[in-house]
Chains A and B, each alone.
Chain A
Amino acid sequence: EVQLVQSGAEMKKPGESLKISCKVSGYSFATYWIGWVRQMPGKGLEWMGIIYPGDSDTRYSPSFQGQVTISADKSINTAYLQWSSLKASDTAMYYCARHPRYSSGYRYFDYWGQGTLVTVSS
C-alpha cells in the first residue's frame, strides 16, 4: 500500500527555521517524483516545487524559488521541505504528493500525504 506520512503540526515564530518531512512507503521512493503543495487557510492549492529522489533533480515554482528548499534522503525514503526564516504569511497546510515518472507521459499527483499544518505567529 502506497503511503506518504508527513510530520506533525508546527507552531513557530517569525524568523525561525523549520524542516518538515514526508516519509513514503509501499513503492520505490527513488523512481517517482515528490511534489509539495501549499494551501493557505480557506484558499486553493499552490504548487511549490518537485524533486526526483533518484538524482535529486529539483524544480521550483517561481513564487517559491529562494523561499524554501526541497530535498530528499533516499536512505530513509523521506522528502523534506524547509525554510530558513519563516514569515507569518507561511502559515498554511503543506502537502507532499507522489508524481509518476515523466516518461509515463502524464503529469499528476496520485497519492498525497495527510498534510502538515504550519502556524507562524509571534
Chain B
Amino acid sequence: EIVLTQSPGTLSLSPGERATLSCRASQSVSSSYLAWYQQKPGQTPRLLIYGASSRATGIPDRFSGSGSGTDFTLTISRLEPEDFAVYYCQQYDSSPPLYSFGQGTTLEIK
C-alpha cells in the first residue's frame, strides 16, 4: 500500500506570499494518478490539480502542480485570502486497485 506523507503539517504565510506544499509517496506513483484538493472549514473538498500538473476547470492559474515518481509539489504563487485552507494530495495504485490521501497540510494566515 502506498502511503502519502504531506509536509509541512501547517504552513503559516501572509497574503501575497508564495506557498509550496509537498507530497511524498512511499513508492513511485504515476503522475497521471496524482491529484490535489482544497478543503475549507465546513465545506466539501474541491479538486485543484489532476495528473500532477493539470488544473481542474475553473481553478486560478496561481495554483500549479509539479513532480514525478515519489515527490510532488503544489505551489500557490501569490496567496489570496480565500486560499487559506487544508490541502490534500491523493494517489491511485493499480495493484491492488487502491486510492489514498495524504494527511493534509493546513495553510494558515500568519
Contacts and interface: CB of A to CB of B under 8 A. Distances in A.
Nearest to A111: B47
Contacts, number: 63
The main secondary structure of chain B at its interface with chain A is strand
Interface string A37-74: 10000001111001000000001011000000000000
A114 B33 CA distance: 24
22 contacts: A37-B45, A44-B102, A44-B103, A46-B101, A47-B99, A47-B100, A50-B99, A59-B97, A61-B99, A105-B32, A105-B51, A107-B32, A107-B35, A107-B91, A107-B92, A107-B99, A108-B47, A108-B51, A108-B56, A108-B90, A110-B57, A113-B44
Interface of B: 1, 32-33, 35, 37, 39, 44-47, 50-51, 56-57, 88, 90-92, 97-104
